[in-house]
């Protein structure tokens, strides 16, 4: 339990540090915002959004291109491994390699989860590896092997909405 606490604490500090760095960079762009207001004589719609995108790109550049000697600290190297896995999952969702799905658990029970197109052959039957998400924190759950005919693809956004709200939120207009 102590190990989980310290890992969570370090992850929280890393996220807090990145958010603080983002705020610092964004606030340091205030002179640029003022200069643009002076040049154009009025506020530009969407300027804050564009500056926010610049901050995100800058932080992304820092995280992906600058190698800090944090791998020497065991707890930080474990957290960075978790962050790398999360980044890989996000990239898989963005590229369509990881898809949302509903799986048939029995005649009247379905679950939602994430899967890839990869199958495992077990006794001649194609099985999908599915991470069944738990509510309300979809980063936890359990993995099951599901026969190919019991998998129905859903949009990832729908799967995450169901998992994060326990199925209580509806994304359709009434």
pLDDT digits 0-9 by tens, 22-35: 777 777 777 877 77
Burial class (CB in 10 A: 0-12, 13-18, 19+), 164: middle
Residues 133 and 110 in one domain: yes
Query: What's the N-to-C CA distance of the chain in angstroms?
Result: 45
Q: How many domains, the chain?
A: 2
Q: Write down which residue in 39, 70, 92 finishes a domain.
A: 92
Contact 81, 131 (CB under 8 A): no
Strand order in the sheet with 141-147: 141-147, 125-133, 110-122, 98-104, 151-154
Tokens of 155: 């949009």
Note whether residue 173 is domain-resident. no
Q: Give the domain extent around 122.
A: 96-165
Note whether residue 171 is domain-resident. no
Q: Residue 94 — pLDDT band, cuts 50, 70, 90?
A: confident
Residues 113 and 58 in one domain: no
Residues 106 and 144 in one domain: yes
Contact 111, 102 (CB under 8 A): yes
Q: Write down which residue in 33, 58, 92 finishes a domain.
A: 92
Q: Write down which residue in 92, 126, 147 finishes a domain.
A: 92
Residues 8 and 49 in one domain: yes
pTM of the complete model beyond 0.75: no
Residues 101 and 80 in one domain: no
């Amino acid at each position: 339990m102590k190990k989980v606490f310290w890992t969570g604490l370090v992850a929280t500090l890393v996220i807090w540090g990145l958010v603080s760095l983002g705020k610092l960079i964004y606030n340091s762009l205030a002179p640029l915002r003022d200069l643009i207001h002076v040049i154009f004589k009025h506020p530009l719609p969407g300027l804050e959004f564009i500056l926010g995108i610049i901050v995100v790109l800058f932080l992304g550049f820092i995280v992906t291109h600058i190698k800090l000697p944090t791998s020497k600290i065991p707890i930080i190297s474990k957290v960075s491994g978790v962050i790398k896995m999360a980044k890989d999952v996000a990239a898989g969702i963005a590229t369509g390699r990881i898809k949302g799905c509903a799986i048939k658990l029995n005649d009247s029970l379905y679950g939602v989860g994430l899967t890839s197109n990869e199958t495992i052959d077990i006794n001649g039957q194609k099985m999908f590896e599915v991470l069944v998400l738990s509510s309300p924190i979809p980063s936890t759950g359990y993995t099951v092997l599901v026969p190919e005919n019991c998998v129905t693809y859903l949009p990832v956004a729908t799967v995450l909405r169901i998992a994060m709200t326990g199925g209580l939120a509806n994304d359709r207009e009434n």
